[in-house]
């Protein structure tokens, strides 16, 4: 396993929460073997751990929270195809060794080295498969848009892993929209219920656009910026509909927000990735967790040999 | 002769250190008790009532708040509580 990296076995990769233990490359390699990784996956695991074990990503809080969230890892750059990652059919599911074992290795390090065991520091009410290991690659070749990593300031030629604190994916169905305008409205409607229709701006989201959904925007000539602008326009919510007590539901925003129109997501709180098989008029939503300095920031790291 | 089997430890290889809890104060009269609000909604409702009850029993109550419930209390805050209080009550919430 150690042959997969040029880094020294005794180099400290990260200080792993929750016990804040210095973790060496060798210790990561041991866990990568247990996860079933091949040696060429190790640089991705190491970079993912560097991203996850930062104060801004806040792995301690992600473990401790009762919400069932975990690090959702998206890989961009040539490394994804080089190590055989899946960005196509069943990209978010089983069956690809790299996707499944990289996410698992990261979780094993947090559990074995950091001490983040379920029922201990990990207090998730239900948990989710995002806590078992959730990693996939973006379909860059099939996308007319800039990539997630480019959107986050990297060059397309760089190998990058982005950690997003999220739950398991859920499907958003739209099989009838034939225009970009219709589809973007449908996506916005679905996104408004991310986590809860009554949570506003405090939690981010990842939208995984399928190739067939992407084709609507490709055909209309929309680039990423146009899509984000149109989508944001449809994600402004009339707060009166989600006030505490509205509709007989006690959950909701305080009365002080009455009469306002607010965006569902904070600026930068909507991450869009292109992945999935060639057939299927669905996209996937990965709901987030408390964002920003009070919670978790999406965190990217370059993958180096 | 076969090579010896080397078993690698996937864990940190450390064990938590045992610390003895402070004894419960026999009385709350004159005892300074810290109330730590972890900063979740309605935690203050619970702690306001606890403060009221502690005051009735003669305790001096000091209030503290974590910057965010999602992260451990900062070292400086923990030190402040440890040096100013004989006991601490932490409120979860919701």
Q: What is the DSSP letter of B76?
A: H
State which residue of chain B sits closest to A110, comparing Cα positions: B11
To the nearest 10 degrees (0 to 180), the angle between helices A42-52 and A25-35 is: 110
Q: What is the arithmetic mean of pLDDT over A95-120? A: 96
CA distances (Å), A227 to each of A211, A221, A233, A277, A298, in order?
Answer: 15, 10, 10, 21, 21
3-state secondary structure of B9: coil
Report pLDDT digits (tens) over A9-59: 999 999 999 999 999 999 999 999 999 999 999 999 999 999 999 999 999
Report pLDDT digits (tens) over A128-162: 999 999 999 999 999 999 999 999 999 999 999 99
Respond yes or no on whether ipTM tops 0.85: no
Beta-carbon contacts of A210 under 8 Å, excluding residues fewer than 6 positions away, are A275, A276, A277, A280, A281, A282, A283, A284
**pLDDT at position B16, please?**
74
In this prediction, residue B93 has a pLDDT band, given cuts at 50, 70 and 90, of low
Chain A neighbors of B73, CB-CB under 8 A: none
Q: Give how far A113 is from chain B: nearest CA, Å.
A: 4
3-state secondary structure of B35: strand
Chain A positions touching chain B (beta carbons under 8 Å): 16, 19, 21, 23, 26-27, 30-31, 34, 58, 60-61, 64-65, 108, 112-115, 290, 293-296
Q: How far is CA A47 from the centre of its chain?
A: 15
- Judge whether B9 is closer than 8 Å to chain A, CB to CB: yes
The minimal CB distance from A21 to the residues B12, B70, B72 is found for B12
**pLDDT at position B94, please?**
64
**pLDDT at position B18, please?**
84
Helical ranges in B1-94 per DSSP H: 43-56, 75-84
Give the start-to-end residue ranges of the domains of chain B.
32-91
Please determine, for residue B51, whether its predicted confidence score (pLDDT) is greater than 90: yes
Q: Report d(CA A272, CA A139) in Å as an integer.
A: 12
What is the overall mean pLDDT for chain A?
Answer: 97
**pLDDT at position B91, please?**
76
CB A15 within 8 A of CB A21: yes
Percent of chain B scoring above 90 in pLDDT: 63
Name which of A305, A245, A280 is nearest A92 in CA terms: A280
Neighbour count for residue A119 (Cβ, 10 Å):
7
In this prediction, residue B1 has a pLDDT band, given cuts at 50, 70 and 90, of low
Q: What are phi and psi of A218, to 5 degrees?
A: -60, -45
State which residue of chain B sits closest to A35, comparing Cα positions: B10
* pTM flag (> 0.80): yes
Q: What is the arithmetic mean of pLDDT over B41-57? A: 93
**pLDDT at position A77, please?**
98
């Amino acid at each position: 396993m150690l042959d997969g990296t040029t880094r020294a076995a005794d180099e400290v990769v990260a200080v792993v929460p929750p016990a804040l233990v210095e973790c060496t490359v060798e210790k990561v390699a041991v866990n990568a073997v247990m996860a079933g990784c091949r040696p060429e996956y190790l640089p991705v695991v190491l970079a993912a751990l560097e991203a996850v074990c930062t104060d801004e990503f806040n792995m301690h809080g992600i473990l401790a929270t009762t919400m069932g969230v975990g690090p959702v890892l998206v890989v961009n750059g040539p490394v994804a195809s080089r190590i055989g990652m899946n960005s196509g059919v069943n990209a978010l599911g089983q069956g690809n060794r790299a996707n499944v074992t990289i996410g698992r290795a990261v979780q094993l390090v947090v559990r074995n080295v950091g001490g983040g065991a379920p029922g201990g520091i990990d207090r998730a009410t239900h948990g989710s498969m995002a806590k078992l290991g959730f990693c996939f690659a973006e379909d860059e070749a099939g996308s007319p848009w800039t990539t997630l990593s480019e959107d986050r300031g990297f060059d397309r030629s760089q190998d990058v892993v982005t950690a997003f604190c999220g739950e398991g994916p859920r499907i958003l169905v739209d099989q009838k929209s034939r225009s970009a305008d219709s589809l973007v409205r449908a996506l916005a409607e679905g996104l408004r219920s991310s986590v809860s229709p009554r949570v506003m701006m405090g939690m981010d989201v990842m939208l995984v656009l399928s190739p067939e959904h992407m084709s609507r925007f490709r055909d209309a000539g929309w680039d990423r910026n146009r899509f984000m602008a149109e989508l944001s326009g449809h994600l402004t919510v009339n707060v009166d509909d989600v006030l505490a007590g509205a509709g007989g539901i006690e959950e909701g925003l305080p009365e002080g927000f009455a009469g306002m129109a607010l965006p569902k997501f904070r600026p930068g709180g909507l991450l869009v990735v292109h992945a999935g098989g060639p057939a299927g008029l669905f996209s996937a939503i990965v709901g987030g967790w408390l964002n920003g300095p009070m919670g978790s920031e999406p965190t990217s790291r370059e993958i180096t040999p | 002769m076969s090579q010896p089997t080397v078993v690698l430890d996937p864990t940190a290889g450390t064990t938590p250190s045992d610390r003895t809890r402070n004894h419960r104060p026999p009385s709350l009269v004159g005892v300074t008790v810290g109330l730590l609000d972890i900063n979740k909604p309605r935690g203050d409702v619970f702690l306001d009532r606890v403060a009221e009850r502690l005051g009735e029993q003669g305790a001096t109550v000091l209030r503290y708040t974590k910057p965010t419930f999602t992260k451990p209390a900062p070292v400086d805050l923990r030190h402040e509580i440890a040096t100013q209080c004989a006991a601490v009550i932490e409120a979860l919430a919701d």
